[in-house]
Structure 1
Amino acid sequence: MYQFEGPCMSDTILEARNLTKSFGGFVAVNGVDLSIARGAIHAIIGPNGAGKTTMFNLLTKFITPTSGEILFNGKDITRRKPAEIANMGIVRSFQISAVFPHLTALENVRLSLQKSLGVSYQFWRSTKVLHELDAQAIARLDQVGLADYAHLKAVELPYGRKRALEIATTLGLEPELMLLDEPTQGMGTEDVGAVTELIGRVREGRTIVMVEHNLGVVAELADTITVLARGEVLAEGTYDQVSKNPAVMEAYMGVSAEEQEAGA
């Protein structure tokens, strides 16, 4: 696991304190405390309606909490905007692949790398300036197994490779913290395996938080799992710990602790 040097660097990179989000009279997230360890893969799971998506959108600043705090590297980001936290090193993905379909894989990654030139994102920058980023873009594509697809338009890529391209563009922003929203959503078995392996490979030097419905992926990747139910933390721990938790089994399968004992 990646280690940050320096005695002042906390082991916690992202923290939520008593985080609550209400929509009218409906409380989607209710008093959640969450601590993300630096260098870890931390999964947020739960049955339908558990509040996973709302929690993810709170952490990535796409919605503002009703109450509570969010800290990144010890700094309060509760009222920051998504663009602000992206500049701080927090970058998210989406359930639907968010790449430019009619640009090539190389052009997509090259756009994400413009930040390294100290310029704003401009499609009309000179070809000479943009080509300065080609080597870095190819390196990012190679990192996710797409170097051979550099000159193929994103729309022409199979779904699994399109998600890999999205991860490559995310890496181009040099994130310290990556938040992945359902990274294997809608994939076949082969693509799920490839993307799972990819996430495990790119974790070096960064922290990953992911919302993921595929428990096989969670079991393989996650160091820590937070289980939400009805907007609250139901359980937290390793996969072995939470998968054997009677409350988690009841939330997922509707089987009470008494019924579990009777069926044992």
Structure 2
Amino acid sequence: MSEQYVLETRNLVKEFKGFVAVDDVNLNIRKGDIHALIGPNGAGKTTVFNLLTKFLIPTRGKILYKGEDITSLKSAAIARKGVVRSFQISAVFPHMTALENIRVALQTFEGNSFSFWQAGARLNKLNERAMELLDAVGLTSFANTTTVELAYGRKRALELATTLAMEPEILLLDEPTQGMGSEDVDRVVELVRSAAKGRTVLMVEHNLSVVSKLCDRITVLAQGAVLTEGDYETVSADPRVREVYMGSDGSGERGATETNPASAEAAQ
């Protein structure tokens, strides 16, 4: 392993009853980068995420973290090492306040997640750090707001804050802007950029305008395999990438900015 790579996969394969969802994928994630996994629907992006965080078990291949083979570790052990992920849908407690959600995450990180019978006052020591995290994602004024009352974009911001509470070295973000309007997308782009300071980010993202603004390096998946890799300029100019997104005749599932590298570039 080159010391510059913090997370690697070697010939990673995942099969489901004969269907190859991830096919011989080799990833090299450089320390400090924001690295995107992109590709059309069904390309295997989220499956790769699930393999990296051991929500799925690889059929073959290896996963290395800082040169250590972590393929056999369970998801909780990988999270404790600092590889922490978010999900496509918001994963916060809807009937807790924003502050309470952060405190639960901090409590879990400290190893006290089974101490819910203790008086709430005992958790007050976590309030200072919780408020720092809420401030980092622009939610200070919503600390005492019940999560179900938050707008969708703010719920995703809260989810990012709960993920940061785990103090990840590598932050894996699965579709962080999914379902958002342009104003919320811009807010989340800035939040991800801020969260990336001092850590590595690997993200799945459909919105190529977001990818072009944020990412140092991009891996394109198609039919479970790596199609190409490089910076945005290199990837967006690759005719194979245009073909898997748009089809060889120039028509695809969607001609919107989020799926068309050429349109994404024009939208800047």
TM-score in terms of structure 2 length: 0.90
Are residue 226 (structure 1) and residue 202 (structure 2) matched? no
Q: Distance in 2 between matches of 1:238 and 1:99?
A: 33
Q: Distance in 2 between matches of 1:164 and 1:149?
A: 11
Paired position in structure 1 for 2:190? 197
Q: Is the 8 A contact 2:34 2:215 kept in 1?
A: yes
Letter aligned with residue 179 of structure 1: L
Paired position in structure 2 for 1:169? 162
Q: 1:212: Cα distance to partner?
A: 0.5
Q: Distance in 2 between matches of 1:80 and 1:116?
A: 18
Q: Which of residues 221, 234, 239 in structure 1 aligns to 2:232?
A: 239
Q: 1:119: Cα distance to partner?
A: 2.7
Q: Is the 8 A contact 2:104 2:113 kept in 1?
A: no
Q: 1:23: Cα distance to partner?
A: 0.6
**Identical pairs, percent:** 60
Q: 1:10: Cα distance to partner?
A: 2.2
Aligned length: 250
Q: Which of residues 131, 134, 149 in structure 2 aligns to 1:138?
A: 131
1:117-156 map, 5 Å: 117-156=110-149
Paired position in structure 2 for 1:210? 203
Paired position in structure 1 for 2:55? 62
Mean CA deviation greater in 83-92 or 9-18? 9-18
Query: CA 1:24–1:209 in 2, change beyond 3 Å: closer, same or farther?
Result: same
Letter aligned with residue 197 of structure 1: E
Note the alpha carbon deviations across 1:96-115, whole angstroms, 9 max, x for none: 10001111000000111124
Q: Distance in 1 between matches of 2:67 and 2:167?
A: 20
Q: 1:118: Cα distance to partner?
A: 4.5
Query: CA 1:121–1:138 in 2, change beyond 3 Å: closer, same or farther?
Result: farther
Note the alpha carbon deviations across 1:148-173, whole angstroms, 9 max, x for none: 00000111100000000000001111
Mark the runs of 5 or more structure 2 residues left unpaired by the alignment: 251-268
Mark the runs of 5 or more structure 1 residues left unpaired by the alignment: 1-8, 258-264
Q: 1:121: Cα distance to partner?
A: 4.4
Q: Is the 8 A contact 1:246 1:256 kept in 2?
A: no
Query: CA 1:160–1:229 in 2, change beyond 3 Å: closer, same or farther?
Result: same
Paired position in structure 1 for 2:90? 97
Note the alpha carbon deviations across 1:19-56, whole angstroms, 9 max, x for none: 00111111111111000001110000001121112111
Q: Is the 8 A contact 2:35 2:215 kept in 1?
A: yes
Classify the secondary structure of the residue corresponding to 2:78. helix
Note the alpha carbon deviations across 1:119-167, whole angstroms, 9 max, x for none: 3343323223200010110000000000000000111100000000000
Q: Distance in 2 between matches of 1:225 and 1:180?
A: 14
Letter aligned with residue 169 of structure 2: E
What root-mean-square deviation, in Å, do the aligned CA atoms of Structure 1 and Structure 2 show? 1.6
Classify the secondary structure of the residue corresponding to 2:27. strand
1:243-262 map, 5 Å: 243-255=236-248
Q: Distance in 1 between matches of 2:114 and 2:27?
A: 33
TM-score in terms of structure 1 length: 0.91
Letter aligned with residue 211 of structure 2: V
Are residue 86 (structure 1) and residue 79 (structure 2) matched? yes
Q: Distance in 1 between matches of 2:172 and 2:114?
A: 22
Q: Distance in 2 between matches of 1:115 and 1:108?
A: 11
Paired position in structure 1 for 2:20? 27
Q: Is the 8 A contact 2:177 2:188 kept in 1?
A: yes
Q: 1:256: Cα distance to partner?
A: 6.9
